[in-house]
Structure 1
Amino acid sequence: MIVIIRNAAWVDAWDADLGQHFYRQDVDVVFDGNRLVHIDPDYTGKADQIIDGSALCVMPGMVNVHTHLQSESLGRGLIEELGNPALYMTGILDEKSVFVTSGLTEQAGGATAQLAANAASTQNAIAELLKSGATTVVDLAVAYDGWLDLLAGTGIRAVAAPMYRDARWHVPTGHRLDYLWDIEKGRRDFATALEAVDAATNHPSGRLSAMIAPMQIDTCGIELLRDSLAAARQRRLKMTVHCSQHIPEFQEMVRRHGVTPVQWMHENGLLGPDTLLGHALFLDHHSLVQWWTRRDLDLLADTGTSVAHCPVVFSRYGQMMEDVGTYIRKGVNVAIGTDTEPQNMAEELRMASTLGRAAARSVRGVWLSELFHAATIGGANALGRDDLGRLAVGAKADLVMLDLDAPGMRPVRDPLRSFVFSAADRAVRHVFVDGRQVVKDGAVLTIDHKALSFSLQTSQDAFVRNAPYVDFRGRSADEISPPSFRIEGRN
């Protein structure tokens, strides 16, 4: 099927020679099947579908390299203000984990309810991502029945990243982080993850691929990490792992090895172009860790290691990268992820811009052009894909059409700025992935988003009931995350 976006008012095209996006005006964008074949004025070939582009800005679909689709939507209204001051403000180790990573016990519905929650959260998150201009997502999840078919059914381009680890976090006192090691379980889960990786790579949809994903640098032994990287290279895939994501992790790695997490990875040959680090926030130069070296950023740049930058979730802990503009100008391949709810790539870019300037204490700390590059080309580079994140002949037909008449888009002088700083997802009119339309007139075609909201509510209710059974200290949901105001009339 040949589709023409006729006379597009603005096109965010790709200049391969200069390695940067640039604007074109009043051109035809044409794709045949799942590949772009023409980005120039006056296309004269045949067409099966013609879209009037006179009030549209066409941009490449964004590449989200780090999120957890099966869990984060379940935390809406629960996790936004969580964080443990006794653990340097992070909430992932104990408080937030109750609602987004702990499994449902039999008292809250057990495995059946868990699978329903996985499906509701995943579909809701993907609907939000598609409506905010993302066409590719890396889903870091614990493999579950039906996962790959669920991803494929949404129409997004998905990278399955099944997670596993050797140890679990344990916070029995509320202020001390312990580790419960089970190396044999780590090996079994690694084998299960590899089965899921191979199944994703061979999935008949043609839109699924995979990454090797040991969970966290502090919960995986060196043998598991080395074998993970070897498995990635054997399959010509990439490895991703959470690294330098919170201060207790930084301190634990220093306690074990005497060096920072990044330096330990380098000493053990784990950095390089095959590795994507989740967050890499607390490096040796960060003001909150007060470490004495200044090597980490240079190691990432020199080795070609990629970083998944997810500013929104850390802003809720009162934390930020110091600073994203410096990472980029040092030569680190920065990519963007969401990692929390809402799953909104436009809002993630806005927060990256705001915090990037605040951290640098300069209006020129980072430019939107650099961040959009990260959200498109940076993500494609992290995945080893030269056919994503760009509008160029031969690239995949993954593209987004912004409505220039939408509130927040006009006056139009620089449509990308209007999109990120004002209109956000409200401006997304149409989205195509692999040449197939998945969003039309702002509505997702592959997911019944409205009906899904009721399933999501049921699933969150189960996690609320589940809280005292999985919290390290047996607290209820209201004790962990009190509502903003008292509620009268609750049964």
Structure 2
Amino acid sequence: MMTQLWIENGLFVTMDETNPKINGHMVITDDRITYIGAEAPVDLLPDVQKLDGSKLAFMPGLINTHGHAAMTLLRGFSDDQNLQVWLQEKMWPMEAKYVDADTKAGSALAIVEMLRSGTTTFVDMYDRMDQVATMTEQAGIRGILTRGVIGLCSEEEQKTKLNDAITFARDWNGKADGRISTMLSPHAPYTCPPEYIEKFVQAAHDLNLPLHTHMSETLAEVEMNVRDYGVRPVEHLDRLGFFSRPALVAHAVHLTDEEIALLAARNVSVSHNPVSNLKLASGIARLSDMLNAGVKVSLGTDSVASNNNLDLFEEIRFSALLHKGISGDPTAIPALEALKLGTIYGAEAIWQSDRIGALKVGMKADFIAIDIDQAHFYPMTDIVSHLVYSGSGRDVKHVWVDGRQVVRNSICTMLDEEKIRYEAQASFERLLKG
């Protein structure tokens, strides 16, 4: 049975170049936007549901292109460490204790946080991904999911991990009414031998899937790659055929001009993670240079263990402010460009810009409503400026994904938040005890 929602008298930040801001109306029919405009719609269904959009700003749902949801259990467990110490001495030993219930609890907690702060699509790289996929399906969020694989192990274990990754990618791609899609992910060039990465490349060709990895996150990582393989990570991955598939790389902090040009030529997507990179002192990515070169750049939070939250509005604001500060150019990343990084550019980075990332007719109904009847949104001057420089995920009031309302009045409609918080705390305490 067809359903229809008519949002009246709203302020719509569309991210559509032809009509970037509209005061008016939007109609959702089932899972698609079927009308948006200044005039009231006509030819509506007799039982159309109405929503008063006054005192709200509507925009596309945010798109988080890099994270590890289950690591939410480790929020605040180890702060103020460099990446290698943080990973090898703190994160990996705790993660080795994970069981399915921990991955489920951490993922559920992350999804609640993402939905309530306006993220409607997330990319996730971890293991025990069946648990993440199950929670994604249950919560109503959209996920691009991948079993991340560290190859520092025996050949037999490498084979098992690769088969696990392939099975997950094949079994879950297109599930949850199309809200779940999958990728293949060797963790990083420094954690996967070259011949092992090549096996992932071949599997991606066989399954016609994209690839995702960490790349050039720290200077030490780049220097290690040169020492071990004679070239920097970008050339290394290119030689291994990684960029022969649609590819999304996380971080890309330490790049040369030549590497930026190569990423643009190979149509590689980059997930810029400014807050995580700052907290781990990994460096500051060359965002403006990548955008100017035509690289598809998006935003990611990374895990809350290195962030420590999943509020993508914070990444949007940092992207605007940080790159002004380091360049000395206040025009480096304007507010609208920063907002695009979290919406339409994010959709382009994951090859879904024909479906999500903007509010226009024919697009999937993935959108959020911001409560703008608050002091920090007054006076009502430029809504884009207010969203970027004044707003936060805490201002999100309602969220829809695929036409279904998954957050109403700041509460997830498909999840038991109290139970999720309890289970997350219990899992952490078990991990801590060992």
Identify whether the pair has TM-score above 0.5, normalized to the shorter chain: yes
Q: 2:87 is aligned with what amino acid?
A: I
- 2:218 is matched with 246
Instruction: For residue 283 of structure 1, give the secondary structure of its aligned residue in structure 2.
Output: coil
- 1:95 is matched with 90
Q: Say if 2:15 and 2:60, in contact at 8 Å, map to a contact too.
A: no
The match for 1:428 among 396, 420, 426 is: 396
Q: Which residues of structure 2 form unaligned runs of 5+?
A: none
Instruction: For residue 200 of structure 2, give the secondary structure of its aligned residue in structure 1.
Output: helix
Q: Say if 1:273 and 1:304, in contact at 8 Å, map to a contact too.
A: no
Q: How does 1:394-413 map to 2 (within 5 A)?
A: 394-413=362-381
Q: Say if 2:149 and 2:187, in contact at 8 Å, map to a contact too.
A: yes
Kindly indicate which of the two structures has a greater share of residues assigned to helix. Answer: 2
Q: 1:193 is aligned with what amino acid?
A: A
Shift, 1:464, TM fit: 2.4
Instruction: For residue 432 of structure 1, give the secondary structure of its aligned residue in structure 2.
Output: strand
Q: 2:388 is aligned with what amino acid?
A: V
The match for 1:349 among 304, 309, 316 is: 316
Q: Say if 1:57 and 1:401, in contact at 8 Å, map to a contact too.
A: yes
TM-score (norm 1): 0.81
Query: Is 1:262–2:260 an aligned residue pair?
Result: no
The Cα offsets for residues 433-452 of structure 1, whole Å up to 9 and x where unpaired, read as 00000011111112222332
Q: Measure, in 2, the Cα distance between the counterparts of 1:324 and 1:239.
A: 21
After superposition, the Cα gap between the structure-2 partners of 1:234 and 1:203, relative to the gap in structure 1 and judged at 3 Å, is: same
The Cα offsets for residues 154-192 of structure 1, whole Å up to 9 and x where unpaired, read as 11011111111321xxxxxxxxxxxxx423312211111
After superposition, the Cα gap between the structure-2 partners of 1:204 and 1:426, relative to the gap in structure 1 and judged at 3 Å, is: closer
After superposition, the Cα gap between the structure-2 partners of 1:3 and 1:236, relative to the gap in structure 1 and judged at 3 Å, is: farther
Shift, 1:260, TM fit: 0.8
After superposition, the Cα gap between the structure-2 partners of 1:235 and 1:409, relative to the gap in structure 1 and judged at 3 Å, is: farther
Q: 1:94 is aligned with what amino acid?
A: E
Shift, 1:283, TM fit: 1.9
- 2:5 is matched with 3
Q: Say if 2:188 and 2:215, in contact at 8 Å, map to a contact too.
A: yes
Instruction: For residue 399 of structure 2, give the secondary structure of its aligned residue in structure 1.
Output: strand
Q: Measure, in 1, the Cα distance between the counterparts of 2:235 and 2:104.
A: 38
Shift, 1:37, TM fit: 0.7
- 2:67 is matched with 67
Query: What fraction of aligned residue pairs are identical, expressed as a percent?
Result: 27
Q: Say if 1:407 and 1:427, in contact at 8 Å, map to a contact too.
A: no
Q: Say if 2:149 and 2:161, in contact at 8 Å, map to a contact too.
A: yes
After superposition, the Cα gap between the structure-2 partners of 1:251 and 1:382, relative to the gap in structure 1 and judged at 3 Å, is: same
Q: How does 1:301-450 map to 2 (within 5 A)?
A: 301-341=264-304, 342-385=309-352, 386-450=354-418
Q: Which has the larger radius of gyration?
A: 1
Q: 2:96 is aligned with what amino acid?
A: G
Q: Say if 2:144 and 2:183, in contact at 8 Å, map to a contact too.
A: yes
Q: Measure, in 2, the Cα distance between the counterparts of 1:320 and 1:412.
A: 36
- 1:143 is matched with 128
TM-score (norm 2): 0.92
- 2:24 is matched with 27
After superposition, the Cα gap between the structure-2 partners of 1:43 and 1:275, relative to the gap in structure 1 and judged at 3 Å, is: same
Shift, 1:5, TM fit: 0.8
Q: Measure, in 1, the Cα distance between the counterparts of 2:399 and 2:290.
A: 31
Q: 1:80 is aligned with what amino acid?
A: D
Instruction: For residue 5 of structure 2, give the secondary structure of its aligned residue in structure 1.
Output: strand
Instruction: For residue 181 of structure 2, give the secondary structure of its aligned residue in structure 1.
Output: strand
- 1:48 is matched with 48
Q: Measure, in 1, the Cα distance between the counterparts of 2:14 and 2:314.
A: 22
Q: Measure, in 2, the Cα distance between the counterparts of 1:128 and 1:121.
A: 11
Q: Measure, in 1, the Cα distance between the counterparts of 2:169 and 2:207.
A: 9
Shift, 1:24, TM fit: 2.5
Shift, 1:462, TM fit: 2.3
Q: Measure, in 1, the Cα distance between the counterparts of 2:408 and 2:358.
A: 21
Over aligned residue pairs, what C-alpha RMSD do you find?
Answer: 2.0
Shift, 1:274, TM fit: 0.3
Q: Measure, in 1, the Cα distance between the counterparts of 2:244 and 2:57.
A: 36
Shift, 1:264, TM fit: 1.5
Q: 1:382 is aligned with what amino acid?
A: A
**How many matched pairs?**
424
Structure 1, 393-402 or 244-253: larger mean CA deviation: 244-253
Q: Measure, in 2, the Cα distance between the counterparts of 1:135 and 1:204.
A: 14
Shift, 1:22, TM fit: 4.7
Shift, 1:144, TM fit: 4.7
Q: Say if 2:219 and 2:282, in contact at 8 Å, map to a contact too.
A: no
The match for 1:296 among 254, 259, 266 is: 259
Q: Measure, in 1, the Cα distance between the counterparts of 2:209 and 2:337.
A: 26
After superposition, the Cα gap between the structure-2 partners of 1:360 and 1:322, relative to the gap in structure 1 and judged at 3 Å, is: farther
Q: Say if 2:126 and 2:146, in contact at 8 Å, map to a contact too.
A: yes
The Cα offsets for residues 178-226 of structure 1, whole Å up to 9 and x where unpaired, read as xxx4233122111111111112114244311111111111222333323
Q: Which residues of structure 1 form unaligned runs of 5+?
A: 105-110, 168-180, 285-293, 467-491
- 2:432 is matched with 464
Q: 2:14 is aligned with what amino acid?
A: A
Q: How does 1:76-225 map to 2 (within 5 A)?
A: 76-83=75-82, 91-99=86-94, 102-104=95-97, 114-144=99-129, 146-167=131-152, 181-225=153-197
Q: 1:150 is aligned with what amino acid?
A: M
After superposition, the Cα gap between the structure-2 partners of 1:37 and 1:383, relative to the gap in structure 1 and judged at 3 Å, is: same
Q: Measure, in 2, the Cα distance between the counterparts of 1:298 and 1:28.
A: 42
Structure 1, 312-321 or 392-401: larger mean CA deviation: 312-321
Q: 2:420 is aligned with what amino acid?
A: L
